[in-house]
Structure 1
């Protein structure tokens, strides 16, 4: 940057001035394209704006071509459910009775490696502001976390900070954390995944969208002051890989990590809700990735005019900031609103009431140009749509990895399977004490799961359930899922399996799945093998949504998740939102204390151990093909679970996935603190029955009075089932008849001790 302000007039006069576009992440042809658009070289401020807005994180330049498939495949019936979809701050669906629900999941991976606490905390803050920008009150958050091996030194550095950041920010906001995941794998060493989800609710008529419309309408920046923290922020960090050298690839980027203040955001939430209630906002945009560059250009591009911004009016908390730094800063807790002139005074009074700084920084103009001045000198004069919507679109090379056939041929069949009771017993105890299968209470106990009193279910339940209407009991359920091992083995089928599991987890609570949000975490898009994984996963997810009849309402793509040339396992995290008419009828996860209740296994079990927790956790093996997924069967299973919830036929239910039936049984009895006797099928290998990860299965507990009615419904509707046990509270044990028996204490001790032993 030059020591004096670089104006458009100066740029015209100095066409050959060298500019650091490569250091800002722009390619030669991208820089040439900017010069072609402007008819001159860009100013420093324009260069900064284009560089962050055309980054991978903001422009989706490598994924846009593939993401169109979601819209191309969505049916009219799927689209009808959406009030706002892909391209908005967050997806919104109408859930009936005048209520709309908005939700989204987004990544904050790279910042969370560089500075775990603030990286994770500001990830929560950012996703909450996306929900606020739609006009909704944020109701709850969830987090999907992935780290390197649990016993690795760097995991012990990163994980506690991330968990503290998620809990610290969310707890201070007064938002319950109701769900998520915690996964350990070598591939995430040096590149953890921190995906944050938020769900909010509003009346349908309160929906707000991000656009600047109406000549003369004012642009008001409100919230925190703008500082030097987060310059370039996630827009830069998430658009490149780490080098593999921690000092150069990670912590040297520390100044790019934003610093959050949850108490400021809490006040900002209440301020926004009052502004919405008083109908004082025409359009609104949160300031997240790319800061003011994004907020101003996207508002202008989505509106019916241009925009003039007086950048020197922006309240600062650092001295000597340049226009480029003000535009690129990703300082947190800021919003940008479009307000009609007659409402400005009332807008300012609401902000004053909440002690929120609010500043008129510009107005909507004629034309299509975004003009930004600094002390009366023009530092930006660009067609707004070229910044926000006309970034480069790449058709990256795609090639199925040459190693894929060998990977799929390397099945788990070669692994030694337990055959005796003692061997089965030993493998069960090893499995439930492994970091991925052990209790996550060490993490979730640091989150406030019940603040505000509307949480109905939270971790360790299959899905989080939150009440949104206290008068009717109407509520929503959310779940995030992705078995990246399955995606690695077969990206198309693996993405379908991730969708199926999240869908099933929501239905297991008794809620009807209605919408999807995704966070697609992959390696570098410059790798043809990574792009093959990405394309296959997108198609699998989109095709799966068509089969299930639920739309993808939005989400996030996170590329460059690798260290050096080692990419993470492909991890398309899928979030599913469900609706339940009466939360008092939600199905709990743990079995109760009513003796004699019947345990039924819904679905079919096949010999499907490839990519399973047993193969990976006990033998370090990953190869073969993932389980088959039948989405028509998943839909039928969900319909039956919803009917069972509505009609009071199911007293408990737990999805069968990672770890198989034995993992589900252990969690069911320990969560419910109640014993059970289990009868395995004498015609099938006990090992397969206990450890297989076949899809489309749920374990349910049914009261004796409802057993006949429920099983007749299962048979009539063609869903396979078998009686697999009874609840036995007096025994205080889990008995696998004919094989072995565990007291609840024998199971609880290894299941609960693992994470505290590693991280306390």
Structure 2
């Protein structure tokens, strides 16, 4: 076939496509000639931050990634893979769809759900659970209400129709997200060890198939769009927002798992970011082979699509599959049965190059290795500078804030916190999601700090959570991120699970801003330290830079931690809810005279500048091990960690589920606001039957853990130092219905 002839693009064209002038020069060196427009477009998406991690990979390499339970190297496959024993493994991952959701919240969120689930079942794993982490701006703004409702509906409609339960997550509000909401989607699936499909390509002459949906112009340039700041002109890029079809995805799931089961699949990869060019280049580079692809054969739903449009489209519900030669009919028959496209568009070569043809002409000829992360894609060491605010935050003095003076002021703070959208129940959000699909969710009627999903055919369950208090990370990126990992582990431990590994979604502003990059570097350091301490290696994840606007600045640095744990037997499941009046309440861990970065200080007192809360990772590790011992010994009736909103909030959440109350005495060693509303870390509240009190205290004394008897569970009323702060009914209404009232739903 002939080489296509066209006017060659210039360095100015490259800059418009998001490439640096030096990157354009490097492309000319790689090709030994100037690129044509299609080739330049290929490099622009594959070298975008979204695909190449060019501004983050040098630091990502420093994260701990080793564990005997790891079955795949971090970033090697479509998702992380952890051995659960008994011949089964869990594939799990978290990814963002922030920019698309900012422009078109329904489709942006829906396709985020579709994409993360494809990453799971492309490995041969059947998804069994989803989580999400959502960040929005000021809840009083009409825009925030619109974005939240659109995102939640997109997640719910796609997940419910696809048939995978959404079992938990988090929603957080702050003005810093007014322009840039964050939508992070997590999925976990189960696969038999030894039956994992690989994202690779090899075997000269093996056919290359595109399967699933047809290709359109939606999503073209999505990877590049995700690698730039949001601006007023972003609405002009709506074609970069993909359109999802959950029913098509359900068919694709079943067909993909059936095809993998045949044993005739050489390699398979989801067409997510950057579409055909991403799948062909990454699979070829990994397998050290090449491909010849005829774009005329790609099923398309729009006429006259150019070669570069077909290559860069991010149309959803598509896969690239390399099959053993001679087995084509087996694969085609399966996809025909599921009424899905299955078209051979090329074959594997030994050239290590990708050659794409359109209308009988060669439109692109590029080396696969030079396109991909870990190959020829650029890697940059960015400058970073400590922002001025960091030292200012450290100057915070608790003495400049008046303590709560009496029961009436405690009541005022309690009402504020329980009704605050960051602390109030997100049940309205959860009710949009079907968490009973599959009938394996064990935390449906048993509230717990993490979600528990049974693995069919075994005693085991996975325990999963997503966590990050971005306010802490903004105050101190290293400490705040270590707290995010620690809280994720604490939530799993308090539920009765054992933490195993994490995936992360690193949401930051523009990496070319030195102060933003300083936040990123600090977050990596904090994550590394905590993951090493808890033995939870990083299996992979996602970096989302450019969550920044020209007028609103960057979002809080938000390194969302998705953590996987396991529960060996069902009887370890531990609820956060108090069980009956008369039970005793203990605090495990020690309080501090600390209100730094608490919701109380930030939103009730209006003090925005303070450091991260008090945190000692060795103390945290010890408290978590003690908590495991208490649960294993069946010495406690409930366990709940103290986090956002402090001790009073944790007690209220534990009490109101079963319409109970509590009566506690504050510790006079501490300020009352710090004792009740401070968010110092490494604290857990447990309730215990009176008959078990001696056994509990014996275990705690043997463990050398700090602990104190707070009081007891009552039949009703939230009482501190003899004064009823709130009636149980009022607390339940404030916590349960405030978000709906704020959203007018």
TM-score range, shorter chain: over 0.9
Match of 2:667 in 1: 681
C-alpha distance in 2 between matches for 1:741 and 1:428:
8
Q: Confirm or deny: 8 A CA contact 1:412 1:623 kept in the other structure.
A: no
Kindly state the Cα deviation for residue 688 of structure 1 after the two structures are TM-superposed.
1.9
User: TM-score normalised to the size of structure 1?
Assistant: 0.94
Q: Summarize the alignment of residues 184-203 of structure 1 with structure 2, pairs less than 5 Å apart.
A: 184-203=173-192
Kindly state the Cα deviation for residue 603 of structure 1 after the two structures are TM-superposed.
0.7
Secondary structure class of the residue paired with 1:206: coil
Match of 1:627 in 2: 613
Match of 1:463 in 2: 450
Q: Summarize the alignment of residues 276-425 of structure 1 with structure 2, pairs less than 5 Å apart.
A: 276-388=260-372, 389-425=375-411
C-alpha distance in 2 between matches for 1:221 and 1:711:
62
Match of 1:637 in 2: 623
Which segments of 5 or more consecutive residues in structure 1 lack a partner in the other structure?
none
Kindly state the Cα deviation for residue 639 of structure 1 after the two structures are TM-superposed.
2.7
C-alpha distance in 1 between matches for 2:700 and 2:616:
17
Match of 1:143 in 2: 132
- Please tell me whether residue 587 in structure 1 is matched to residue 582 in structure 2: no
Kindly state the Cα deviation for residue 18 of structure 1 after the two structures are TM-superposed.
7.8
Moved more, 741-750 or 562-571: 741-750
Secondary structure class of the residue paired with 2:13: coil
Kindly state the Cα deviation for residue 406 of structure 1 after the two structures are TM-superposed.
1.6
Match of 2:63 in 1: 70
Secondary structure class of the residue paired with 1:740: strand
C-alpha distance in 1 between matches for 2:309 and 2:727:
62
> 506, 517, 520: which one pairs with 1:531?
517
Which segments of 5 or more consecutive residues in structure 2 lack a partner in the other structure?
none
> 1, 5, 12: which one pairs with 1:10?
5
Secondary structure class of the residue paired with 1:240: coil
Kindly state the Cα deviation for residue 16 of structure 1 after the two structures are TM-superposed.
7.1
Kindly state the Cα deviation for residue 680 of structure 1 after the two structures are TM-superposed.
2.6
Kindly state the Cα deviation for residue 208 of structure 1 after the two structures are TM-superposed.
1.8
C-alpha distance in 2 between matches for 1:737 and 1:186:
36
Deviations 1:388-435 (A, max 9, x none): 232121211111113321232134542232121111111111111112
> Structure 2 vs 1, CA of residues 379 and 64 (structure 1 numbering), >3 Å: closer, same or farther?
same
Secondary structure class of the residue paired with 2:72: strand
Secondary structure class of the residue paired with 1:437: coil
Secondary structure class of the residue paired with 1:219: strand
- Please tell me whether residue 478 in structure 1 is matched to residue 464 in structure 2: yes
Kindly state the Cα deviation for residue 9 of structure 1 after the two structures are TM-superposed.
4.9
- Please tell me whether residue 758 in structure 1 is matched to residue 745 in structure 2: no
- Please tell me whether residue 722 in structure 1 is matched to residue 708 in structure 2: yes
Secondary structure class of the residue paired with 1:22: helix
Q: Confirm or deny: 8 A CA contact 1:232 1:329 kept in the other structure.
A: yes
Kindly state the Cα deviation for residue 488 of structure 1 after the two structures are TM-superposed.
1.1
> Structure 2 vs 1, CA of residues 497 and 203 (structure 1 numbering), >3 Å: closer, same or farther?
same
Match of 2:74 in 1: 85
Match of 1:119 in 2: 108
User: TM-score normalised to the size of structure 2?
Assistant: 0.96
C-alpha distance in 1 between matches for 2:429 and 2:535:
34
C-alpha distance in 1 between matches for 2:572 and 2:57:
41
Kindly state the Cα deviation for residue 8 of structure 1 after the two structures are TM-superposed.
4.1
Paired residues in the alignment total 740
Match of 2:530 in 1: 544
Kindly state the Cα deviation for residue 82 of structure 1 after the two structures are TM-superposed.
3.9
> 549, 556, 560: which one pairs with 1:569?
556
C-alpha distance in 1 between matches for 2:247 and 2:636:
42
Match of 1:657 in 2: 643
> 231, 234, 251: which one pairs with 1:267?
251
C-alpha distance in 1 between matches for 2:36 and 2:136:
41
4+ residue segments displaced more than 6 Å: 16-19
Secondary structure class of the residue paired with 2:711: strand
Secondary structure class of the residue paired with 2:95: strand
> Structure 2 vs 1, CA of residues 349 and 643 (structure 1 numbering), >3 Å: closer, same or farther?
farther
Secondary structure class of the residue paired with 2:140: coil
Secondary structure class of the residue paired with 1:105: strand
What is the alpha-carbon root mean square deviation over aligned residues?
1.8
C-alpha distance in 1 between matches for 2:725 and 2:409:
13
- Please tell me whether residue 223 in structure 1 is matched to residue 212 in structure 2: yes
> 231, 234, 241: which one pairs with 2:229?
241
Q: Confirm or deny: 8 A CA contact 2:473 2:480 kept in the other structure.
A: yes
Q: Summarize the alignment of residues 432-447 of structure 1 with structure 2, pairs less than 5 Å apart.
A: 432-447=418-433
C-alpha distance in 1 between matches for 2:713 and 2:389:
47
Q: Confirm or deny: 8 A CA contact 2:112 2:185 kept in the other structure.
A: yes
C-alpha distance in 2 between matches for 1:18 and 1:568:
32
Deviations 1:498-544 (A, max 9, x none): 11111101111100000011111111011000011100110110121
